[in-house]
Structure 1
Amino acid sequence: MVAQWVRAEWTKKSRGAPESAKRNSVPVGFALPHRKPAVHEVRLREREDFAPVWSPESREVDRVHVMLREEDGVLSVQLHDTMMAPPRRVVRPSPVRLSPGEWVRWQVNHRWARPRDGGWNYEQTTLNLAYGPVSDAELFLGTPTRHVDERTHLR
C-alpha cells in the first residue's frame, strides 16, 4: 500500500481572481519520490506561493485519520473527518473497497476562523491511496479507480 496526502492551505486572499486561479491549479496528486511502501505528504501553502513541500515520509498510515480493513484480498478505506472545523459532515460516505492494483482519491475541505484576527483559513485535503504494490511512480497523476468528493462550498 502507498498513501499520499496532499494538503492545500490558503486565506481569503486566494479566494478571488487572480489568486484563486493559482490556488485552483494546485495538483491533487504528485509523482512518488520512490516506489517503496510508504506514506507521503505534500503541503501547498498560500504563503509559500503554493510551491509543493514534501514532508518526511512515514511507514504507517495515521489510523486516526484513515480506517483500513483488509479482508479476503479487499481493502476497505474510510477517511475520518477529524478536523474540528466547518462545514461538519453529518452524513459520511460509505467505506471504499479496493482490490489489489486499485486506488482511491478522497477529497474533503474545511474553513476555520483565526483567533487572533477573525479572518478565515481554508484547507483542501486529498488522500490518494493505492492497494497493493505500486510499480508506476506517476500513478497518482492519473485517474483513480474510485473517487470520493466531500468538498463543499466554503464561504
Structure 2
Amino acid sequence: MIIVQRIRTEWTKKSRSHPGSVKRNSTPDVCECAHLNEKGQIYLQKIEYLERNDFEPQQTLFVDNAAEITKCGIKLSSTKEKCEVKFVWSWAYVGEPERRSTQVFSLKKQQFGQLIFNGRFGHTSSSGKEWTYEKNVINVYFANDFCNSDFLLDREPDKQFKSLERIR
C-alpha cells in the first residue's frame, strides 16, 4: 500500500508580506493522515491551504486515482519490495521555472519520503496577467498495512528531495 499526502499552499502577491505571509509560512510539511477505510493500493490525501480561503485547510481523499497522482508532479512505480518515486516537471502541475524530471528516491517498506517544490503559475484575469505561487510538499509512505492517523507526525523522512527555486 502507498499513502501519498499532498500539502499545497497557494498564494498571490497579496500574501507576500505581513500579515498574509505569516499564515502562508506557517502551513505544515506533514499532517495527520486521513482515516483509510476504503480498499485500495494507492491513497492520496490532498490538503490545500489557499489564500482565497484564508489558508484554512481543505481536505480531499482519493483512492487508486492515477490522474490525481499525476497532478502531484510525481510518478510512482512499485513492486512488493520497493516504491520508486519520480519528480515529473510540467507547467500545469509544477509551474515555472522549468526543471528536469528525475528519479528522486526509492522506498523500502515502512519508509517515508518527502518531496518539496515550489512553482509560479500565470493566468489571464480581468486585470491582465496575475501570478499565483505554490509550495507543494508530497509525502510518500510505503506501508505494509493501515496505520494510525498520526504516524507521520513524529518522524523525520527517511528520504527527501527539494526543488525550491527563486520565484517572483
Per the shorter chain, which TM-score range? 0.7 to 0.9
Partner secondary structure for residue 55 of structure 1: strand
Q: Is 1:127 the counterpart of 2:132 in the alignment?
A: no
Which letter does structure 2 place at the counterpart of 1:3? V
- Map of 1:81 onto structure 2: 89
Q: 2:105 aligns with which of 88, 96, 99?
A: 96
Instruction: Spell out structure 1 runs of 4+ moving beyond 4 A.
Output: none
- Map of 2:53 onto structure 1: 48
Partner secondary structure for residue 35 of structure 2: coil
Q: How high is the TM-score relative to the length of structure 1?
A: 0.87
Q: 1:118 aligns with which of 126, 129, 144?
A: 129
Which letter does structure 1 place at the counterpart of 2:97? P
CA contact (8 A) 2:34 2:61 kept: no
Partner secondary structure for residue 143 of structure 1: coil
Gaps of 5+ in 1: none
Aligned-pair CA distance for 1:60: 3.5
Q: Is 1:151 the counterpart of 2:152 in the alignment?
A: no
Q: CA RMSD in A?
A: 2.0
Q: For residues 125-144 of structure 1, what are the alpha-carbon distances to aligned partners after superposition, in whole Å with 9 as ceiling and x for unaligned?
A: 11111002342311332321
Q: For residues 71-120 of structure 1, what are the alpha-carbon distances to aligned partners after superposition, in whole Å with 9 as ceiling and x for unaligned?
A: 46121111212234311113x44330101000111111111223122121
Measured in 1, the distance between the counterparts of 2:123 and 2:28 equals: 26
CA contact (8 A) 1:3 1:61 kept: no
Gaps of 5+ in 2: none
Measured in 2, the distance between the counterparts of 1:119 and 1:69 equals: 36
- Map of 1:139 onto structure 2: 151
Q: How high is the TM-score relative to the length of structure 2?
A: 0.81
State the aligned residue count: 154
Q: What are the equivalent positions in structure 2 for 1:9-48 lying under 5 Å apart?
A: 9-36=10-37, 38-48=43-53
Q: What are the equivalent positions in structure 2 for 1:3-14 lying under 5 Å apart?
A: 3-14=4-15
**CA spacing shift, 1:146–1:60, aligned 2, 3 Å:** same
CA contact (8 A) 1:44 1:52 kept: yes
- Percent identity, aligned pairs only, is 23
